[in-house]
Copies of this chain bind each other. A is one copy, B any other.
Amino acid sequence: MRQVCFGIDIGGTTIKLGLVSQEGDLLEKREFPTQRELSAAFDDIAANMRQVLDSFPDAMCIGAGVGVPGPVLNQSLVRGCVNLGWGDTDVAQELSRRMGMPVKVENDANLATLGELWQGGGKGCRNLVMFTVGTGIGGGVICDGRIVSGASGGGGEVGHLPMSFRPDWPCSCGKYGCLEVTASATGIIRAAREFSPFKEMAEVTAKDVYDAAAAGDENARRVVDEAGAALGTAAAILGCVVNPEMVLLGGGVSAAGRALLDPVEAAFKKNVFPPCGNVRFALAQLGNNAGIFGGAALFFTQSA
């Protein structure tokens, strides 16, 4: 019988749910709004899972892997998801009770990293680091094929690495100078706004800054280089800590492609402990489906 697994990515506004085969095929995908009320959200998820399963009567579903935007303990307990307005919730228990199947829960960014390892840009790796560069910076760390969750679910929070680039810029976490204040889209825009023409524009996107740098704007070039230097130094930090064979860049800013990768790789080479320097840099490939694949990978690739 064909083995399948659900991957479910619970976000603040929508829930993405996919049925994935053991071979890594996304058989069906659904997306629906996240109900504010906890129990209603779980009922919604369970109802959608049942409908999807009804379309695959020959498949044996071995479980559901769930990503949530917050720290997770023991692949089960979610401690206060600010984005969801939930308190402490045993997501695995709630969903397992409704569906009668094993459920494992992980932080969404960690799960996306595992998805990329299994079926995306990190395929074939055992040791992988991902930076998801968007409004903030998320990410994940995989060591020897396993997600690094840490003692309280805070593993892989690479956006909050203390860096020296912008020590006076406050971060949403309450500290100053975290990686994401310099290298996220928000940071790139903030730095660019110190200069014309960005200073005068009503709206600026990170893409505007990358485009201007490509067109020869010196200030934009400096901003883009600084963001790349911060990310590359962060990758060098991770290099000597977990010694990955690959670093993936994902998120909205990664649309910049080589314009993002080149300064990151240059800063990495300059800062990494040489014996840990043999690292490939690439772009994430699964986009918004990374969490779904990661959820399935929790069952298909992770030993207990």
Contacts and interface: CB of A to CB of B under 8 A. Distances in A.
Interface of A: 71, 126-127, 141, 143-144, 146, 148-158, 160-162, 164, 173-175, 178, 233, 236-245, 271-276, 278
Given A146-B144, A233-B162, A237-B162, A153 B274 contact: no
B154 A273 contact: yes
Given A143-B150, A146-B144, A148-B143, A240 B276 contact: no
A175 B236 CA distance: 12
Contact of A240 (B151, B158, B233, B242): B158
Given A164-B164, A243-B150, A71 B237 contact: no
Contacts of A275: 71, 152-154, 157, 173
A278 B152 CA distance: 9
Contact of A273 (B126, B160, B278): B160
A154 B245 CA distance: 11
B242 A141 contact: yes
A241 B161 contact: yes
A244 B150 contact: yes
A6 B66 CA distance: 42
Contacts of A236: 162
Nearest to A244: B151
B144 A276 contact: no
Which of A141, A154, A158 is most buried by chain B, counting CB atoms within 10 A of its CB? A154
Contacts of A174: 274
B154 A127 contact: no
Contacts of A274: 173-175
A270 to B, nearest CB: 8
A186 to B, nearest CB: 17
Which residue of A148, A151, A174, A274 has the most chain B CB atoms within 10 A of its CB atom? A151
Nearest to A276: B154
A150 B127 contact: yes
Contacts of A278: 151-152
Contacts of A240: 154, 157-158, 160-161
B162 A241 contact: no
A126 B239 CA distance: 22
A155 B71 contact: no
A149, A153, A162, A274: residue with the most chain B Cβ atoms closer than 10 Å: A162
Given A157-B276, A162-B233, 14 more contacts: A71-B275, A143-B148, A144-B146, A148-B241, A148-B242, A151-B243, A151-B244, A152-B275, A157-B240, A158-B241, A161-B237, A175-B271, A241-B242, A242-B242
A125 to B, nearest CB: 8
A173 to B, nearest CB: 6
Contacts of A175: 271-274
A93 to B, nearest CB: 21
